Chain A
Amino acid sequence: MKLKKILSLALAGTMMAATFAACGEDQTKAEEETTEVVEEATTEEAASAGDEETYDHQAIEKAGDITITMMVSGTAAENDFETEVLPKLINEKWPNVTLEVTKLPDDNYYTSLKTKLASGECPDIILTQPMYAGQNSCYSMAEAGYLVPLNDLDCVKGRHDMAAVTYNGDVVTATCSVSILGTYYNKDLFEQVGITSEPKTWDEFLEDCQKLQDAGIQPIVMGDKDQYVLQFGLYQIAANEIYPKNADYDTQLRTGDTSFTDKDTWDKVLEMYGTLYERGYIDASKSLGMGAAQAIQAFIDGEAAMTFDGSFNAPAILASGAAGDFARGYFPIPSTSGEQYTATCLAGGESIYSGSEYIDECKEILDYWMDGSSPVWEASLASGKVIATYGNGADEIENYDLFAPFVSLMNKGNGFYWCNQAWPAGTETEMEALFSEMIGGQGTTVEDITQGMQDKFEDLLED
């Protein structure tokens, strides 16, 4: 009994001490930081920052037998590029280097990454996402001091498209590929109802949807049970209707100069996307019970004429289904003005952990990988998962014709990042939940959604 009493007193004491210690700490510091705006570098700064710098290019040769570790997210396929091809090619180039690659499904990757960072055992090379996207966003990891500046990489020098992976003037992620959001469509079904070309304006798009519906064809299928797919359509419309008018819209959200509740911004985007549900072009009564994979299956089975999805899902969407190997096209949702824009942006890439023992060696590997001509570069293009941001044989990749118009639009300056990359993680889930409520007939209005997004945004920025 005595032992029990002593133990319980000790535990209670520890808990109390923890509480009071916590309350007594510098709370004002946290409050001050809520208003702090992270300074992201402009592309010009990023490009110029690394022009003069260099790293030890001989380090990898002189390192002796070393093992470099790397961790990425995804599901390893047969003859997988990251887990099989890349280590083999690196070892062929530098026989003294063993590259050990771990590939984990997304959720496992995030958990593993956090655990490894916390224990100081992070792999030398890790996959990070642009700006604030995801739990491995390069901005939040750079802010915590986990990433090495990569300004001195040869594959980064002189590039002017790296703003999304540049934190406080330093490029922190090496990437040379893009990710696209667009509208996959079934050319056979389009032709069947007399649609001969891709729509150029929002009104034309709605007319085409109506033609399909009148012919008894479901115009668009979406797997809204996986609510994240709502982003696929909404971000395309935002790229048309918000960013061309104000490219700094999201930066200004952080300073309070703009708001999700501003007229003709997100209200317009949500109304336009909501129209597709209102008119039954996307059948909410089905889509809310259908997962993303099931929707893709329905599209390739010929059960619907279109689906909004990303370039990252191309292998699944271009596969044969019950409807056979029908011809497929890909276009960005058209804008109301007719001017073409696209939600095409830098894809995730590789970063080097600041606690790595082999920083220069890792840099050499990344440079070799992304030099535009090495066997590693060619193998990465051949994997079909990479849509290169610049030449170097990018046009030889599978399905390049499908994606080329998007890359051209981006190179022309009409490509915008995916909205959630600029938002604190969690804003988009609030948007998805509220939008689902609206299309599910729960009485949620567009104003409720924009207000909810704004509240969530402010709440997430607060700490």
Chain B
Amino acid sequence: MIMKKKNKNQTSPVFNNRMYFFLIPALTFFLVFWIYPLLQLFYYSVTDFNGINYDYDFVGFKNYVKVFHNGTLINSMKNTIVYAAVTVVLSNLIGLGIAMALNTKIHLKGFFRTCAYFPALFSAIVVGFIWSYVYMPSSGMIASLVSLLGGDGAGFNPLGDYKIALFAIALVEVWRGFGTTMIIYLAGLQTVDDSLLEAGRIDGCSEWQLTKKIKLPLIAPTITINVILSVINGLKAFDNSFIMTNGGPGKSTKTLMFQVYETAFTDQKMGRASAFSVLAFAFIILITVIMLYFMNKREVEL
């Protein structure tokens, strides 16, 4: 019995019990700045707090019911999914394509890599303003180019068109984000062992076959990371809607986060915005977990 008890208390000589004390600062930080605000968010979501008056009342799950009932959740969720799908697909395809091109032996490789990453260095505000002028009807950069080439530049108005405004702001996000994606792919591609590629070539593989059969399977974990990061980023979209279209025209570019902002600060319904945030949080977690599950499964298959 004595021996058994002794075994139970035995700890690693590297990480003994006293080491747990060193967790306290990080744990405190985590609890105060992450868990506590999260609980507060949940707490406010069942109140009618307006952001100013602290004499609020508890309203149960009324805010959640309202969010579902008034249609804002569905509209913003639909817009967010479209936005995320466009950004995930394009930024990964472009990022991967450019990473592959810049992983070959070409002149000025460093310069091209810097150029490709350059847009990622700008803040969302700067990018938003630049692209507002690029997209401006009649005298914007694209409209002027179209006119110069003999097209109808005056009719070019992507941010004012209900059908394409969401795609237009998603493209801006792709432009800003593909550099980061490319850097991660580049890092992944550099881990592919040259001897495997050499062996493939000796066996008569074409470049496409080398990519499909060797490179892509070997960078599968990189693809998972990039796709998951892009999905999370896409589902949290706010900047471009806020800066470039303010949710318009109409409600066509209102994303989940934009709707949370508008509910909290324009409608002054902090309680309802909190309910919205809780639902958005759950939605993002759900999508991410599902994606992660399938991507990991696919990694193993590859």
Q: Interface of A with B (CB < 8 Å)? A: 11, 14-15, 18-19, 21-27, 29-30, 33, 107, 110-111, 114, 117-118, 135, 140-141, 143-144, 146, 224-227, 284-291, 294, 424-426, 429, 432-434, 436-437, 440-442, 444, 459-460, 463
Contact = CB atoms under 8 A, between A and B. Distances in A.
A22 B47 contact: yes
Q: Is the interface of A mostly helix, strand, loop or mixed?
A: helix
Contacts of A436: 248-250
B251 A225 contact: no
Nearest to A25: B58
23 contacts: A15-B42, A18-B46, A25-B57, A27-B58, A30-B59, A110-B265, A114-B51, A117-B52, A135-B265, A141-B52, A225-B159, A225-B160, A225-B245, A286-B137, A286-B157, A288-B157, A425-B267, A426-B269, A429-B267, A433-B247, A436-B248, A436-B249, A440-B160
Nearest to B132: A291
Contacts of B267: 424-426, 429, 460
A286 B138 contact: yes
A426 B246 contact: no
A460 B248 CA distance: 21
B50 interface: yes
Given A22-B58, A227-B248, A437-B249, 5 more contacts: A25-B57, A118-B54, A141-B52, A227-B249, A429-B262
Nearest to B46: A22
B55 interface: yes
A75 to B, nearest CB: 15
B93 to A, nearest CB: 27
B53 interface: yes
Interface in B242-274: 245-251, 262, 265-269, 271
B14 interface: no
B212 interface: no
B196 to A, nearest CB: 41
A432 B136 CA distance: 21
A118 to B, nearest CB: 7
- A30, A107, A118 interface centre (most CB from chain B within 10 Å): A30
Nearest to B242: A107
A433 B248 CA distance: 7
A114 B52 contact: yes
Given A144-B55, A285-B157, A434 B250 contact: yes
B106 interface: no
